[in-house]
Amino acid sequence: MTFSAIVVAAGSGSRAGGDKQYRTLAGKPVVRWSVEALLNAGASEIVVVVAPGAEARMAQALDGLAGWRNVAGGVERADSVRAGLASLACAPDAPVLIHDAARPLLSRDITEGLIGALDHADGALPALPVADSLRRADAEGVIAGAVDRAGLWRAQTPQAFRRGVIERAYAAWTSSEPPTDEASVVQAAGGTVRLIDGDPRLLKLTYPEDFAMAEALTPRQTRVGSGYDVHRWGPGGSVWLCGIEVPHDQTLIGHSDADAGLHALTDAILGALAEGDIGDHFPPSDPKWKGASSDQFLLHAAGMVADRGGRIVNVDVTLICEQPKVKPHRLAMRERIADLLQLPLGAVSVKATTSEGLGFTGRNEGLAAQAVCSIDLPAPQPAA
């Protein structure tokens, strides 16, 4: 299935708080969702219509993707679509899908259905039947009457046409008012437009609250990571454990502050992300990390989760040692980790156990820590 596509991304998005096409949805820019979906569906070329001067910003949003190019749009949506059509390289009889960047959750079923519908019509668009009861109101919000919803549909995008059909229809448009969409342009030129079943997930991001709805609709996965760390005891007057300085007659020896609890937890988060271990990100051979607070290691790992559109669900740290006594400091440790990770206290567990005098911890030679975390991430999409 070969087709060309135009993604209209030149609007200001003011009702959604501005520049909604560049805002992050589940870890990536809104516009990237549409471009990736069209590439994965088989688009041979994609023209992304951007606001004049926004070319560099779009390049950043679509970094790493091939098969697209941008063109500057106009004041009205119709001007942007015309600019996109003029930039296409496809033949006049080639299918063209015209899509709004503000509808990110496009499925392959929709694109296939649209192209198939062009065998029997001049154009096609996905649509949903109106299910809610409709009312007409006056300027003050007083109901003036009911509206019969029979035969009413909520139009979505992409809208599909043969290139020659939509270009001839735009050339024949004589109204002084800009068209609401491409389907109305083709219909005004005498063409037929067929409806296919739309997708409730293909909502348009119009208002700020729509982003929360779209986040809830993105495919998600829960991942679990584990971490383990050991440090030996040495001379000192206190020890750092789970972000808290605990008075003690020894300290843990390490390149940083040797906080085994936070090191294990950092490794657990990195493990859930499949991003190596703490040594990969903060090499002990690098002098800049000598004596460093382990808080920054944990914050780095948590930031990687956020950058992917994910969130940490809960964490569990176990300290294995004969000394010092952990219980008097456990609440402070939990509170510190909760503060660093922006988690409710109930999502943070810190426990301690001994090894019953066995092994290096039992001989008071060192302290060990293990940690487990679960994270919620957007499910990986097929590579574009």
Q: How far is CA 354 from CA 99, 320, 325, 359, 362, in A?
A: 61, 5, 10, 10, 7
In terms of domains, do 37 and 177 share one? Answer: yes
In this structure, is residue 383 part of a structural domain?
no
In terms of domains, do 296 and 274 share one? Answer: yes
Burial (CB count within 10 angstroms: exposed 0-12, middle 13-18, buried 19+), residue 244: buried
In this structure, is residue 282 part of a structural domain?
yes
List CB contacts of 254: < 8 A, sequence separation 6 or more.
Answer: 231, 284
In terms of domains, do 197 and 258 share one? Answer: no
In terms of domains, do 53 and 105 share one? Answer: yes
In terms of domains, do 198 and 297 share one? Answer: no
In terms of domains, do 270 and 323 share one? Answer: yes
In terms of domains, do 71 and 126 share one? Answer: yes
pLDDT of residue 14: 43
Of 172, 199, 217, the residue at which a domain comes to its end is 217
List CB contacts of 221: < 8 A, sequence separation 6 or more.
Answer: 376, 377, 378, 379, 380
Which residues are registered as beta bridge partners of 353?
320
The Cα–Cα gap between 372 and 270 comes to 11
Low-confidence residues of the chain: pLDDT under 70:
1, 12-18, 380-384
Please name the residue that has the structure tokens 């208002």.
207
Domain range for residue 282? Answer: 220-378
Of 154, 183, 217, the residue at which a domain comes to its end is 217
The Cα–Cα gap between 2 and 39 comes to 10
Within the chain, residue ranges assigned H as helices are 30-40, 55-61, 77-86, 108-117, 163-171, 182-188, 208-217, 260-273, 278-281, 295-307, 330-341, 359-362
In terms of domains, do 203 and 339 share one? Answer: no
The structural domain count of the chain equals 2
Of 217, 238, 257, the residue at which a domain comes to its end is 217
Q: What are 232-246's pLDDT values in tens digits?
A: 999 999 999 999 999
In terms of domains, do 150 and 224 share one? Answer: no
Strands 153-155 and 244-247: unpaired
In this structure, is residue 85 part of a structural domain?
yes
In this structure, is residue 52 part of a structural domain?
yes
List CB contacts of 265: < 8 A, sequence separation 6 or more.
Answer: 227, 242, 298, 315, 317, 337, 371, 373
In this structure, is residue 384 part of a structural domain?
no
In this structure, is residue 305 part of a structural domain?
yes
In terms of domains, do 57 and 163 share one? Answer: yes
Reported pTM: 0.72
In terms of domains, do 178 and 126 share one? Answer: yes
The Cα–Cα gap between 70 and 44 comes to 15
Q: Answer yes or no: are the C-beta atoms of 152 and 160 closer than 8 Å.
A: no
Q: What CATH number has the domain bearing residue 109? A: 3.90.550.10
In terms of domains, do 289 and 374 share one? Answer: yes
pLDDT of residue 16: 42
